[in-house]
Amino acid sequence: MALVPLRLLLDHAAENGYGIPAFNVNNLEQIQAILKAAVETDSPVILQASRGARAYAGENFLRHLILAAVETYPQIPIVMHQDHGNAPATCYSAIKNNFTSVMMDGSLEADAKTPASFEYNVNVTREVVNVAHALGVSVEGELGCLGSLETGAGEAEDGHGFEGTLDHSQLLTDPDEAVDFVEATQVDALAVAIGTSHGAYKFTRKPTGEILAISRIEEIHRRLPNTHLVMHGSSSVPEDLLAIINQYGGAIPETYGVPVEEIQKGIKSGVRKVNIDTDNRLAITAAVREALAKKPEEFDPRHFLKPSITYMQKVCAERYQQFGTAGNASKIKQVSLEDFAAKYAKGELNVVSKAAAKV
């Protein structure tokens, strides 16, 4: 199976009531861990790369690593997704590099720091949709800024994130605006702001509805039942990994992530893509620290890179099981980008709100 568009996987997930973790990648070991877990659980795969990852790995290296995964695991449908594209040009360069899905994050301006107006967001997102859909490539948009409802602050991820503090009206996606945004842009997926944030330091306590607004997802899903929703910043920050890191020289303070059971509630309310990066970073760090501490005389990188794959594979396999993704890879039939382009051109994939559908 070749690289497939994100819309193919999200449509299947919606039809069968499950979610799909989208794992960020920077290097060979991360891709190996994710694909090993996918084969183990028969799960479809979303590999996503930020602008920072593309700069770190190099465009050609990253593209060929992912194409190698497709060649090695032909039975697994794989999406190559641009995470947090800051401008149309970023998305177009991703498409040029074989990405089959792009995120145009117009919630911030092109500097990836300044909160943008609704009109700006609609305009840049619609521009990317028009180009991407003509090529069969999927598009994710974002409405509302990702940040903490506790502090009003955000956490930059690879240079992407607002500066300063925002109020709750900016940190929570407005359901009315969500309807207008989706109908105006025709995005394939909508990332919603509900109080999650990037990084390990999401919450100072186990999150409740006061600081993690899963109810906002439910409300948006009622208005847009046919729109695929996305949860960003959804690592759960496992305590066992934090303990290993700190046992072997780390210094991570007490912190809380997004509980898996809260993500599962979101999946029941239309969340189809769940972004996870920090959990895998923690798994790798725990494995590396432990391996180096136990055998400090070792200097072969494979000594600590092999266990990093194993630890990360375990996290990925758990998420595939917990989100209901497992068992679905073999059920998905390939549809090419060309076929999707034709569907978009005919209007077969247009999204309408619940209210519009009744008119």
Q: Residue 280 is encoded by which pair of tokens?
A: 């895998």
Question: Known catalytic residue: 83?
Answer: yes
- Rounded to 5 degrees, φ, ψ at 189 are -150, 145
Nearest to 11 by CA among 251, 358, 335, 353: 335
Select which of 11, 42, 83, 111 is catalytic: 83
The whole-angstrom separation of Cα 143 and Cα 329 is 30
The pLDDT of residue 359 is 42
Summarize pLDDT for 218-273 with one digit per residue, the tens: 999 999 999 999 998 889 999 999 999 999 999 999 888 889 999 999 999 999 99
Summarize pLDDT for 8-59 with one digit per residue, the tens: 999 999 999 999 999 999 999 999 999 999 999 999 999 999 999 999 999 9
The whole-angstrom separation of Cα 24 and Cα 166 is 26
Beta carbons within 8 Å of 306's beta carbon, 6+ residues apart: none
71 to each of 7, 66, 67, 76, 257, how far by Cα in Å? Answer: 21, 9, 6, 10, 35
The pTM of this model reads 0.93
